[in-house]
Structure 1
C-alpha cells in the first residue's frame, strides 16, 4: 500500500515504478527511493512499509555520499543565523598541510625589458617581490578577518620571467602542521608578490595586469589531496 500511495502523488513527468520493469528488485527500489526523495524532499526510510528489511547497502552508501557532498559544499564561515563567523577547528585532527598557488603579472614589452635588465628605478623587482610574498603569507590572518592565526613551517615564493607573454609568473607554497589548511596563506603570498611587482613598476606603465590568482594544489586535512586540472 505504501508503494502505491507514493507513486500516485508523483509528478506525471517522472518515471514511475512498474512491476513489469525489466530491472531487478534492487534497481527498482533504488529508482523508487529517488522518486520519493524528489516528492518528499528527504531521503526515504531504511526499511520499506515497516517490513524490517534493511535498505540495500548500495543505496545506503550512495545516500551517505550525497550527504557528505552536501556537508562539504556548505559555507562554513556563515552561522545558522546567516552571520559571519570564525570556524571552530578545535575538533579537527592535526596533520601536515601544504598548499601551492600561482598568479601572473603581465608587464608588456617595455616594462618586461626593464625588469629583465634590472633597470627599474626602485630596484630589483623580483627580489623585493619575493620577500613581500613571504611576509604576506605570514600576515594572512591580519589581512583576511576570518582566517586562523596559524604557525607556518615553510613559505616559498618563486618568480620567473616569461618572455613569451612579457610577464612574471609567480608560484607560492605554504606549509603547516595543524588543524586548518594553508590555502589562503599560499594565495596571499602570490597576491602580495604580484602587487609588489606592480608597485615597483607602475612608474613605467599603468597598464600592468595581475591575473589568474588561483590555488593549484593542496594536501592534508579531512578533504585530502586536491589538484587543479591542467
Structure 2
C-alpha cells in the first residue's frame, strides 16, 4: 500500500503543542510510552528544532529519520491496525450520522464519533503501549529519544488532520471514501442511483463550461505565463 510522505517540519520558535482534544490524547499516549521525563524533554527539543525528517505513514507503520550531534538515525514505528470487523464498524460509525465524513475531510474528529466507535469495540486513539518503535541508536529505553521525537511530530500531523490517525489504524482516506460510496450505492434504490448519476453528469458539464469560459480555446496548449504566439506577417 502506498505510503503518504509528510513534509519535513522546520524549526519552530517557542515550540509547538497539540491544540485539539484528539491531538492532546495522542500526546498523552506518547508521554505514557516514555521511560523518563528527561527523554521527553530531549525528544521535544529535537522535534521543535527541525531535526526530524519527512515522515512516511501507512497503515500500521511510520518511518522517519532523526539527526542529532551523534549522527543520523532511522526510526521505524508501528501502531496496531484494526481487524476487518473493526474497519467495518468504523465505516458504519462514520456513516451513522450525516456530516461526519465532511467533518473528517475538514480536519475535525467529532468526539461522539470516537465514543460511538468505542462502544462498537473500535479504539481509534492509541494508548502508550501500542506505540511500537525500533531505532538504530544505542539508547537502552524503548521508545528512544529519536522515536519520541518522531511521535511528537506525528502528534502535530494527527492534530491537523485526523485522517492520518485513521490511516495509521488501517483506513486510509481513499479507502474510507470508497467504502462509504459502496455502502451508499448498495443501499440506494435504482432511481436514487440514476438521480445521483444525473446530478454528477450535470455537475461535470457545468464545471467544463466554467473552465471553457475561463480559458478560451486560443490559450489551450500554452504553458501558463508563456506569451501568446506573434501574429504571422
State the TM-score bracket (shorter-chain normalisation): under 0.3
Larger strand share, 1 or 2: 1
Q: Larger radius of gyration, structure 1 or 2?
A: 1
Per the normalisation by structure 1, the TM-score is 0.22
Per the normalisation by structure 2, the TM-score is 0.22
